[in-house]
A and B are shown apart, each in its own frame.
Chain A
């Protein structure tokens, strides 16, 4: 069915407007829809067409943004703006190219992003995370902050490496989760095996184990973990075992996009529990009985404190 130009224009306009989460003019939209049965059909066409188009496009890793270093200035001021912004504000942008062929992919809290790796395999980035990949060196990924679940296609001729802080993890197997923050770096292995710091400690981490290191210290801790728990955040679940409340708050913020904070006097308390993220997004107060804490709203955040 071919649509009238004007109807398609109007449908596109309504599609753009209703696509904004703040849109509130539903009565006007209803009136337009009632004007002609073709209006609703045109709107459905636009919504379906744009959704299918967005799904057909590859993830950012294989469709990089243009390199601003090569482009002229002038009306491409906004490209220059992207490059000019330092890593400190990097979280605002999803992805951009650095010098040479490196590129950064970053996520907001509550967001996850699947990135295809040039060598085959993929990495699932958790919320509030930043990873640097390099077209010129496809066997290396640098996790600057946050958490990522790697699924690697193992190749005898090349080894895939993940760097996080001072730690290097060399893949000799398939599925592993790396988490990095200024206070600690951890590696959990679900399938295959990963070698930690092959030049120094040289620890092999097998499936069902998690290795934790603190930056600036050669000490590490190796603990058992249910392999099913590795990367469980990607399935909407988090498990804490004697975790510090401030770490719990940070993990929840990353995963849900809702701001959680540990009250100052409770930040050092340890809690255990396993929870689903979806109900927590709907009502943060359900956290209270799950972890044996108290939760209250303050400002734009949910504050966790001891009961």
Chain B
């Protein structure tokens, strides 16, 4: 028999739910690249030698979601780099600034200040919970236990932090 007769949990789940995953990718905004992205997921899944995965379908959806997130970030970063490049070319008449890294550092520390200010304006606990979950990478359930609050409080705090940071990014991107 061929290898496909005994698929691993992930490969089997992929083949069974291929259409749902494709639909998800399209809904996420993949457009015409959806089939290509689905193929990328297939390659990853069929090659991996994973141990037992608790919920193969959820794992596949999560993989697809992360793939879309990475794609969005690299696309926007590429656009931004092109914009910066053409601005630099236009402004200096062909030369490039001789201290680009110093400028990047200044932008980075300014962003740090703006993020910190945005979070602090929400409240001490909200700021601390965002840091604990997103900077330290602690799962929400554990954050709730650490802070002695309910899971819904953590979710609510994260929602307001996420809102505020999304609005900050909107403002900064428009500038």
Residues of A within 8 A of B (CB): 2-3, 8-9, 11-13, 15-21, 23-24, 26-27, 29-30, 33-34, 37, 40-54, 56-58, 60, 63, 65-66, 76-78, 81-82, 92-95, 111, 279, 282-286, 297
Contact B131 A57 (CB under 8 A): yes
Contact B135 A57 (CB under 8 A): yes
Contact A53 B115 (CB under 8 A): yes
Contact A26 B58 (CB under 8 A): yes
CB contacts (< 8 Å) of B130 on chain A: these are 54
Query: Which of B35-43, B48-56, B90-98 lies on the face that meets chain A?
Result: B48-56
Residues in B8-33 with C-beta less than 8 Å from chain A: 20, 23-24, 27-29
User: In the complex, what residue of chain A is closest to B73 when comparing beta carbons?
Assistant: A48
CB contacts (< 8 Å) of B20 on chain A: these are 27, 30
Q: A16-B159, A78-B149 are in contact. Are A26 and B61 (CB under 8 A)?
A: yes
Contact B108 A46 (CB under 8 A): no
Residue among A30, A63, A78, A285 making CB contact with B125, cutoff 8 Å: A78
A-B contact count (CB 8 A): 146
B165 sits at the interface (CB 8 A): yes
CB contacts (< 8 Å) of B149 on chain A: these are 78
19 interchain pairs (CB within 8 A)?
Answer: A13-B159, A16-B158, A18-B62, A27-B20, A29-B24, A30-B27, A33-B28, A40-B27, A40-B29, A44-B29, A45-B169, A50-B165, A53-B118, A53-B134, A56-B108, A95-B136, A279-B49, A282-B50, A297-B51
Q: A16-B158, A282-B49 are in contact. Are A53 and B168 (CB under 8 A)?
A: yes
Residues of B within 8 A of A (CB): 20, 23-24, 27-29, 48-51, 55, 57-58, 61-62, 65, 68-69, 72-73, 76, 108, 111-112, 115-116, 118-119, 124-125, 128, 130-142, 146-149, 155, 158-163, 165-170
User: In the complex, what residue of chain B is closest to A1 when comparing beta carbons?
Assistant: B170
Q: A78-B149, A279-B49 are in contact. Are A52 and B28 (CB under 8 A)?
A: no
How many Å lie between the Cα of A51 and that of B115 in the bound state?
A: 11
How many Å lie between the Cα of A12 and that of B160 in the bound state?
A: 8
Residue among B58, B72, B162, B166 making CB contact with A23, cutoff 8 Å: B58
User: In the complex, what residue of chain B is closest to A39 when comparing beta carbons?
Assistant: B27
Contact B115 A111 (CB under 8 A): no
Contact A12 B166 (CB under 8 A): yes
Contact A47 B158 (CB under 8 A): no
User: In the complex, what residue of chain B is closest to A284 when comparing beta carbons?
Assistant: B51
Residue among A24, A66, A111 making CB contact with B137, cutoff 8 Å: A111
Contact A60 B136 (CB under 8 A): yes
How many Å lie between the Cα of A23 and that of B133 in the bound state?
A: 15
How many Å lie between the Cα of A37 and that of B146 in the bound state?
A: 38
CB contacts (< 8 Å) of B132 on chain A: these are 94
Nearest CB of chain A from residue B92's CB, rounded to whole Å: 27
CB contacts (< 8 Å) of B168 on chain A: these are 49, 53
How many Å lie between the Cα of A11 and that of B170 in the bound state?
A: 14
Contact B112 A57 (CB under 8 A): yes
Nearest CB of chain A from residue B109's CB, rounded to whole Å: 9
User: In the complex, what residue of chain B is closest to A286 when comparing beta carbons?
Assistant: B49
Nearest CB of chain A from residue B60's CB, rounded to whole Å: 9
CB contacts (< 8 Å) of B116 on chain A: these are 57
Query: A46-B162, A77-B148 known; 7 other A-B pairs, CB under 8 Å?
Result: A11-B166, A45-B170, A46-B166, A50-B134, A50-B166, A51-B69, A282-B50
- By CB atoms of chain A within 10 A, which of B76, B130, B158 has the most? B158
Q: A284-B51, A286-B49 are in contact. Are A3 and B170 (CB under 8 A)?
A: yes
Contact B163 A93 (CB under 8 A): no
CB contacts (< 8 Å) of B72 on chain A: these are 44, 47-48
How many Å lie between the Cα of A42 and that of B57 in the bound state?
A: 25
CB contacts (< 8 Å) of A46 on chain B: these are 162-163, 165-166
Nearest CB of chain A from residue B65's CB, rounded to whole Å: 6
Contact A44 B69 (CB under 8 A): yes
CB contacts (< 8 Å) of B115 on chain A: these are 53, 56-57
How many Å lie between the Cα of A48 and that of B74 in the bound state?
A: 10
Nearest CB of chain A from residue B130's CB, rounded to whole Å: 8
CB contacts (< 8 Å) of A56 on chain B: these are 108, 111-112, 115
